[in-house]
Structure 1
């Protein structure tokens, strides 16, 4: 819809609730970026299960979202006519129907949160391989793995049942589903087929939960959200959001991977590579079976408009490099040396050293410190170490290159090319690492064209999904 004197140009708002940051973008009716902002979420909390746990405070995520919205020009906010929200998939959040948020009466539409569990993120590893073997096989072409919402809930049923009984949580979903429920004041949670597939025990073909299977192991299926197709409306803002008007439609929460593809891929011959905290290499396919030709590490998940994505979702991306920075800081502590440096600053120093370090084809690091979904017990390894090539810079270079080597080992460029792909569109914060970027270009050279995509990533895709909804209403 074009702008007129009576009807100002409509904007759409895209939000991505990432693992480490919140991204917000506003686009115009042509899909152009009007304004965007990124704020750190600073949400990580200590888990009672120690290093196997990966938990975040949902209130911290909520506060970071509002801090980001306050940086967006109010004049742009009032033009927003639909909202799309994406974010970190697979994780689990529990809340109480009608008791987890309370609305204030002030002009800022303040909402107070309470009666929430921690967010158990996709990085959570409390569900061991042994525990997974005790669970029933899902009625789905998709595997289940540690960090998946249904799997984590089943672990809580077995190991922290008293917590579930005491708190009396009666709704579950991703953190994005909760945000949608809170701002729209939904009585029951609603999610998209994209996020339901990431939760586990969801049949992609029938778009239904495996209710009988879940009931057989004591899962209270009434807590699961209603599932709608990605791109459909979940509800409307009850009191507005900052300066965004009340009544604005809000789409069902979507997957960050799918929204990242939507923001970057131009046509059917594009594959998309996103390297952020984790890493995904995705290809749009017509149906579930067509994606199975690409390898055992490939899974096929819902996309938009009845299409699917064949994807390798690697667990080892920027988190590997941050882990290396944490390890160096730990070494300093063990040596009794000064360590009053933030890990993010240490990461920048390591990156600088890595760029100065000469390339060494003998030193290689397989960076799978977090395993992979198709092989959770996979460990990292290093080879080709000599007395002269094990500097910090060389190790950082090898780890950066290993991240890229690993994802293309799971889905080689030759396989992509043989399936009709011509380009790889890259995005994500870690592709700003020159070592990662150069390695990507080297691997694809002569096989597929590499294109550096947008930096807005999933937030932009979420906004574009909102724009598509507006266009359908015309």
Structure 2
């Protein structure tokens, strides 16, 4: 048996697979998140570890003792800053935190070539600008830093005691030279970072360390089993879907959204805000459109209305198009690179229902993928068929909307909701040497294909154009409010 741990933003999720890749068990534990000021997003890494422990202990004891290896996946970009004793200096600044906007501009002003090396323009959500922000706004905390880690790698530290990451998670920091696949001294210099603070980089299928005896006893696992270096959630999702060869790809509908295509070379496209990152497997990279608001607006609206999301989705399917929604609750990366923009409804009327609000949210998520597909096309990549992962894939209506507005056929497998945890478990299987990578990283059986109905119909095209007009309009309004 092989355990995959995925440290998400809203929850820790685990899955256990057997040597044939069959899903044997799952568990999850929700995570708290704090927003100490507008645009800020933080978590405590101690909460991550306690949730991970709870998830593992929720598995059957006989299953736990049969686990032969562990793999890791997790939310990218978070700044886990540790002192000399490897204890947290402060709460973790997350991927959807917007505080380091000025620092990003300063990085590019200091060295315009930085983005070409890092794979994309620096953005506040990335790790490096956050450390520069700490040096300016929390100098006492910055002075204590001796290690900087990525979220999943903190779980690795707890499991095996080492400071290790993989190329895909390193890629999202803005410290990594994507073409050379190593830390860049120049990018560190630009961001008040000592290269010695950064973790050792191993491929995702490499063994980062072995399970510490006291941790094994606490968790009911076998001591000294290997822990794979793992992958950032995007790359782990790709591994779970077998998207490890050039041209393979998927969309992800989790808290954030992604459109991801594997490449056999480093292909940056800075002007279209397509991320070009090193993959977790050797000699491969990927292009990715990153949307900060994925399927999260669905849960946000359900929480706001205090109604079950399934009922709202049923009502959305019956509602006629009416209101428009801009889903940028925490800013946006692709295509705008704007951390200050916020969401909003437009075209509201007295005939509006809660179902029509949810339909507007679903439509906006689909339109954000239409923007992503357009950015990909400008970058010279035009996928015609992609697999899909993440909790948002449960909605047939949303999946069909995305297929229709992007013109991309989407495939959903039984493992779609498992997502990156499955990729992490696959990396564990390879790391312990039980099977070669080619045999493990196969594409899943697609149970449902969502095919575009054809060219976008006139009414949908009009609504897409209106949706795209919302961003500059609301940006103008919000600038007046500041």
TM-score, normalised to structure 1's length? 0.81
Q: Displacement of 1:20 after TM fit?
A: 0.4
Matched, 1:359 2:320: yes
Aligned counterparts of 2:141 and 2:228: Cα–Cα separation in 1:
32
| 1:347-398 Cα shifts (integer Å, max 9, x gaps) | 5554454234x232x6433323333225333746668726355333212211
Q: Is the 8 A contact 1:201 1:210 kept in 2?
A: yes
Q: Displacement of 1:180 after TM fit?
A: 0.9
| 1:394-435 Cα shifts (integer Å, max 9, x gaps) | 12211111112111222149949x957452211111222343
Q: Displacement of 1:92 after TM fit?
A: 0.7
**Most deviating of 370-379 and 148-157:** 370-379
Which residue among 332, 347, 351 is the counterpart of 1:372?
Answer: 332
Matched, 1:121 2:94: yes
Aligned counterparts of 2:118 and 2:86: Cα–Cα separation in 1:
33
Q: Displacement of 1:300 after TM fit?
A: 1.8
1:84 maps to what in 2?
A: 71
Query: What is the correspondence of 1:147-186 to structure 2 with a 5 Å cutoff?
Result: 147-165=125-143, 168-186=144-162
2:463 maps to what in 1?
A: none
CA, structure 1 residues 448+156, in 2 after alignment: closer, same or farther (shift >3 Å)?
A: same
Which residue among 406, 409, 422 is the counterpart of 1:460?
Answer: 422
Matched, 1:257 2:244: no
Q: Is the 8 A contact 1:424 1:449 kept in 2?
A: yes
Aligned counterparts of 2:343 and 2:222: Cα–Cα separation in 1:
53
SS, match of residue 45 in structure 1 = coil
Aligned counterparts of 1:461 and 1:427: Cα–Cα separation in 2:
11
CA, structure 1 residues 384+117, in 2 after alignment: closer, same or farther (shift >3 Å)?
A: closer
Q: Is the 8 A contact 1:263 1:461 kept in 2?
A: yes
Q: Displacement of 1:443 after TM fit?
A: 3.4
1:397 maps to what in 2?
A: 359
Q: How many residues align?
A: 421
2:257 maps to what in 1?
A: 279
Query: What is the correspondence of 1:91-102 to structure 2 with a 5 Å cutoff?
Result: 91-100=78-87
Q: Is the 8 A contact 2:370 2:402 kept in 1?
A: no
Matched, 1:35 2:9: no
Q: Is the 8 A contact 2:89 2:141 kept in 1?
A: no
SS, match of residue 134 in structure 1 = helix
Matched, 1:433 2:395: yes
Q: Is the 8 A contact 2:148 2:199 kept in 1?
A: yes
Aligned counterparts of 1:205 and 1:472: Cα–Cα separation in 2:
31
SS, match of residue 408 in structure 1 = helix
Query: What is the correspondence of 1:335-350 to structure 2 with a 5 Å cutoff?
Result: 345=307, 347=309, 350=312
CA, structure 1 residues 473+444, in 2 after alignment: closer, same or farther (shift >3 Å)?
A: closer
SS, match of residue 466 in structure 1 = helix
Q: Is the 8 A contact 1:191 1:227 kept in 2?
A: yes
Aligned counterparts of 1:420 and 1:265: Cα–Cα separation in 2:
19
Q: Displacement of 1:298 after TM fit?
A: 1.9
Q: Is the 8 A contact 1:441 1:450 kept in 2?
A: no
Which residue among 156, 170, 186 is the counterpart of 1:212?
Answer: 186
2:272 maps to what in 1?
A: 296
SS, match of residue 260 in structure 1 = helix
SS, match of residue 118 in structure 2 = coil
Q: Displacement of 1:91 after TM fit?
A: 0.7
1:72 maps to what in 2?
A: 59
Matched, 1:142 2:131: no
CA, structure 1 residues 325+275, in 2 after alignment: closer, same or farther (shift >3 Å)?
A: same
CA, structure 1 residues 421+126, in 2 after alignment: closer, same or farther (shift >3 Å)?
A: closer
| 1:301-336 Cα shifts (integer Å, max 9, x gaps) | 12223211111111121222344456x46xxxxxxx
Q: Displacement of 1:121 after TM fit?
A: 0.8
Q: Is the 8 A contact 2:152 2:232 kept in 1?
A: no
SS, match of residue 98 in structure 2 = coil
SS, match of residue 15 in structure 1 = strand
SS, match of residue 436 in structure 1 = helix
Aligned counterparts of 2:151 and 2:135: Cα–Cα separation in 1:
20
SS, match of residue 120 in structure 2 = coil
2:470 maps to what in 1?
A: none
Q: Is the 8 A contact 1:325 1:350 kept in 2?
A: yes
SS, match of residue 59 in structure 2 = coil
| 1:23-59 Cα shifts (integer Å, max 9, x gaps) | 1111111111111112212x21342xx1221001212
SS, match of residue 231 in structure 1 = coil
2:7 maps to what in 1?
A: 17
SS, match of residue 39 in structure 1 = strand
Aligned counterparts of 2:30 and 2:156: Cα–Cα separation in 1:
20
SS, match of residue 157 in structure 1 = helix
CA RMSD of aligned residues (A): 2.8
Which runs of 5 or more structure 2 residues have no equivalent in the other structure? 437-482
**Most deviating of 130-139 and 232-241:** 130-139
